[in-house]
């Protein structure tokens, strides 16, 4: 094709999907240039889709892509130039819809990427299907690659102001935080333990309003000594103004990384203790869980109270105490006959009913899946495909829900058998607090926390002798 030949009604379409990353735009423009020069401007249709990630938006939300589809359908395009498959869509089903359209309307497809190993557009359905699948997979790797670039040239870095210096970005100290950051790094030289580390970070935390953890992590971030760390090696970043020397950075790593590992350990230990769902008695929301890893303590809290005295806030140890007490009271007072006869019988009846429902859903699901697999996707609008997929997913969800309920019945029945054994043998008197807490899910329905008390609602309350109220903890507010 030359500029003089090939002047037909149909045009060449250059499709670009450009992100906010200007390097990426530049790359697509350059790659397309060698093809553009074959055409006169009036024989070119440009579609530039801006700031859209095809990972996140589906096809019907992308109006530029929809106009491309319209032009293919109306036969306005003879050749589609696009950087690679991922610029069209990363979704397998969507890509196949486009593929069918392009194929049926006899549109040539040219990928403009300069990577010679990139597989060209194939008219073979299986080959192109594999290529489309690879594109979808690749989408999942993108966030990882973005992270790599982010380490070298982050869009924003705390403590820095970025400026453009020709092609390169430069990073200079942000005056607003410069003093506090310098003081922090200076103080780090004398830090000997976690508490000292926390107090060294306090001033910067106050000034910057950044979380403590982020300030700690600055100590192990090579960017602040103007280097990038990769595979335990340091590579200089000449466009970054350092806050500390490489030697100081290495000192910090040597001294602080064991402390920060310890801190992570505390955090993990406290995180795994967050096994309770506790409702706020005042506002009905779930209490939040907050970890103070430096002091190795964690809290459940809700900030809905109008003043500090009304604040709902309990340490994890207090909650564990309440739960363990409830469990032991249950073992001591529950009526064995009630558990054995009434509860077990009710459960097995319920399980039978649920199993019938489950079978019914399963057969409907199989039917729908079969009829879906026999559809001719090439002739279907993506919206109609989506409707069918949604229908199938809905039934799958119902099925899973019933299955969960059946499992819950079995779990409860097994638990009750265990309870009976424990009560008969009086095993509970030898249980540790952790062991008692492990029984909580089968005994405690709900925990509701008020600012001055915790209510525990149990299952099997009718079987409890004596019938008691479950207000079992009065909390003094001395820590307030």
Contacts with Zn ion by CB under 5 A lie at 280, 282-283, 302, 304
Question: What's the min distance (Å) between Cβ of 302 and Zn ion?
Answer: 3
Q: How far is the CB of 285 from Zn ion (least distance, A)?
A: 5
State the CB neighbour count (10 A cutoff) for residue 429.
10
CB 441, min distance to Zn ion, A: 23
DSSP for 142-182 reads HHHHHHHHHHHS-S--TTEEEEEETTEEEEEE-HHHHHHHH
Comparing CB distances to Zn ion, the nearer of 12 and 316 is 316
Which contacts of 5-8 are long-range, i.e. CB under 8 A and separated by 24 or more positions?
6/43, 7/40, 7/43, 8/78
Q: Which is nearer to Zn ion, 282 or 329 (CB)?
A: 282
CB 450 to Zn ion: min, Å: 9
Coil/strand/helix, residue 335 = coil
Task: Please name the residues in contact with 342: beta carbons below 8 A apart, sequence gap of 6 or more.
Answer: 463
Which C-beta is closer to Zn ion: that of 286 or that of 377? Answer: 286
Would you say 226 or 316 has its CB closer to Zn ion? 316
Query: In angstroms, what is the minimal distance from the CB of 289 to Zn ion?
Result: 14
Q: Which is nearer to Zn ion, 197 or 280 (CB)?
A: 280
> Closest separation between CB of residue 288 and Zn ion, Å?
9
Q: Please answer whether residues 382 and 94 qualify as being in contact, where contact means their C-beta atoms are separated by less than 8 angstroms.
A: yes
DSSP 272-320: HT----EEETTT-PBPEEEEETTTTEEEEEE---SSGGG-EEEEHHHHH
Cα–Cα distance between 437 and 398 in angstroms, integer?
Answer: 31
Cβ-proximal residues to 421 (8 Å cutoff; 6+ apart), any chain = 427
> Of 97 and 300, which has the nearer Cβ to Zn ion?
300
Residue 314 beta carbon to Zn ion: minimum distance, rounded to whole angstroms:
12
Nearer to Zn ion, 280 or 416 (CB): 280
Of 99, 85, 19, residue with least CA distance to 56: 19
């Amino acid at each position: 094709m030359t500029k003089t030949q090939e002047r037909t009604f149909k045009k060449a379409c250059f499709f670009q999907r450009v992100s906010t990353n200007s390097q990426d735009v530049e790359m697509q423009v350059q790659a397309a240039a060698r093809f553009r020069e074959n055409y006169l401007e009036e024989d070119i249709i440009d579609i530039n889709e801006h700031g859209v990630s095809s990972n996140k938006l589906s096809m019907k939300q992308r109006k530029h892509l929809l106009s491309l589809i319209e032009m293919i359908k109306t036969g306005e395009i003879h050749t589609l130039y696009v950087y690679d498959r991922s610029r069209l869509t990363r979704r397998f089903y969507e890509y196949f819809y486009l593929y069918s359209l392009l194929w049926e309307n006899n549109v040539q497809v040219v990928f403009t990427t300069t990577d010679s190993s990139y597989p060209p557009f194939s008219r073979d359905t299986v080959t192109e299907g594999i290529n489309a699948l690879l594109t979808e997979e690749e989408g999942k790797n993108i966030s990882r690659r973005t992270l790599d670039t982010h380490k070298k040239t982050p869009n924003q870095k705390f403590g820095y102001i970025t400026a453009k210096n020709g092609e390169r970005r430069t990073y200079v100290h942000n005056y607003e935080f410069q003093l506090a950051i310098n003081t922090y790094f200076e103080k780090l030289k004398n830090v000997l333990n976690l508490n000292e580390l926390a107090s060294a970070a306090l001033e910067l935390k106050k000034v910057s309003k950044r979380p403590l953890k982020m300030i700690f992590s600055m100590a192990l971030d090579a960017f602040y000594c103007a280097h990038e760390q990769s595979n335990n090696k340091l590579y200089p970043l000449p466009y970054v103004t350092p806050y500390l020397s490489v030697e100081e950075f290495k000192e910090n790593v040597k001294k602080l990384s064991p402390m920060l590992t310890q801190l992570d350990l505390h955090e993990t230990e406290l995180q795994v203790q967050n096994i309770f769902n506790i409702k706020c008695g005042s506002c009905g929301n779930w209490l939040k869980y907050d970890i103070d890893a430096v002091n190795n303590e964690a809290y459940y809290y809700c900030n809905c109270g109008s003043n500090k005295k009304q604040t709902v806030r309990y340490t994890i140890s207090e909650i564990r105490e309440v739960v363990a007490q409830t469990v032991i009271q249950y073992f001591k007072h529950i009526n064995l006959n009630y558990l054995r006869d009434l509860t077990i019988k009710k459960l097995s009846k319920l399980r039978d009913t649920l199993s019938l429902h489950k079978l019914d859903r399963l057969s409907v699901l199989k039917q729908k899946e079969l009829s879906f697999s026999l559809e001719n996707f090439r002739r279907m609008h993506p919206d109609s495909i989506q409707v069918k997929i949604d229908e199938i997913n809905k039934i799958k969800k119902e099925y899973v829900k019933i299955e969960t309920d059946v499992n819950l019945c079995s779990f409860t029945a097994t638990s009750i058998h265990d309870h009976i054994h424990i009560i008969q043998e009086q095993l509970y008197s030898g249980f540790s607090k952790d062991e008692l807490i492990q029984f909580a899910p089968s005994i405690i329905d709900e925990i509701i926390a008020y600012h001055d008390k915790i209510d525990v609602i149990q299952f099997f309350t009718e079987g409890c002798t004596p019938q008691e109220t479950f207000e079992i903890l009065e909390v003094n507010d001395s820590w307030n």
